[in-house]
A = this chain, B = another copy of it.
Amino acid sequence: MKISFVTTNKHKFEELKAVLAEFDIEVEQIKASYPEDKEDLMEQVALKGAKMVSTKLNKAIVLEDTGLFFEAYTGFPGAMPKFIFEKIGYDGIFRLLKDKNRNAYFKTVAAYCEPGSEPVLFEGMMKGKITEKVYDEQKEAMPYDRIFVPIGYDVTISDMEIETKNSFSQRAQAFKKLARYLLDKESE
């Protein structure tokens, strides 16, 4: 089996590829744009986007949206982690969290859609804490992975092997749910 993942982010693509390989599902990366309305919840963005791209390309596709939520600021950075990081950087994030509760969680919603069908949603969540400094600045990593230590670990995501991360990350959880759904569907 092979599915198409709509993303421009190679880290995300590598993560899905590694997770789906365990299920013998191949994945190709495709680039396509879809509206991400700033008033919409992540779930709405993913569902609408999956339906639109699947219809347009006339193929089965998956896409995902990942948000980050600080306990100290409800809904922040929320569905806007990229925007927030680009604008205020690590310095701004540390200013906001100084002497505050540093608990946070990542949430991924993955929407899968076949042409002519309704999209299906799979979610995953990873809880942890925002660090007080930036780790692994020299290493290639997604920005928040350098300042996030998952519960039960004592290192940041950026300091983990990809296999370790994929054993529990919110994105891997969502992708594994998708994989099981696809295998069940195939065996029906």
* Chain A residues engaging chain B, CB cutoff 8 angstroms: 35-39, 73-80, 83, 86-88, 92, 95-96, 98
Contact of A37 among B36, B74, B80, B95 (CB under 8 A): B36
Number of copies: 2
Given contacts A37-B38, A73-B87, contact A98 B96 (CB under 8 A): no
Given contacts A37-B36, A38-B38, A80-B80, contact A92 B96 (CB under 8 A): yes
Q: Provide the residues of chain B in CB contact with A35, threshold 8 Å.
A: 35, 37
A69 to chain B, nearest CB (A): 10
Please, how many angstroms separate the alpha-carbon atoms of A75 and B92 in the complex?
A: 13
Contact of A86 among B36, B75, B79 (CB under 8 A): B75
- Whether B73 pairs with A92 at a CB distance below 8 angstroms is yes
Cross-chain pairs A/B with CB under 8 angstroms, 30 sampled = A35-B35, A35-B37, A36-B37, A36-B38, A37-B37, A37-B38, A38-B38, A38-B79, A38-B80, A38-B83, A73-B87, A73-B88, A73-B92, A74-B87, A75-B86, A75-B87, A76-B87, A76-B88, A76-B92, A77-B87, A78-B83, A78-B87, A80-B80, A80-B83, A88-B96, A92-B96, A95-B95, A95-B96, A95-B98, A96-B96
Q: Provide the residues of chain B in CB contact with A77, threshold 8 Å.
A: 87
A130 to chain B, nearest CB (A): 14
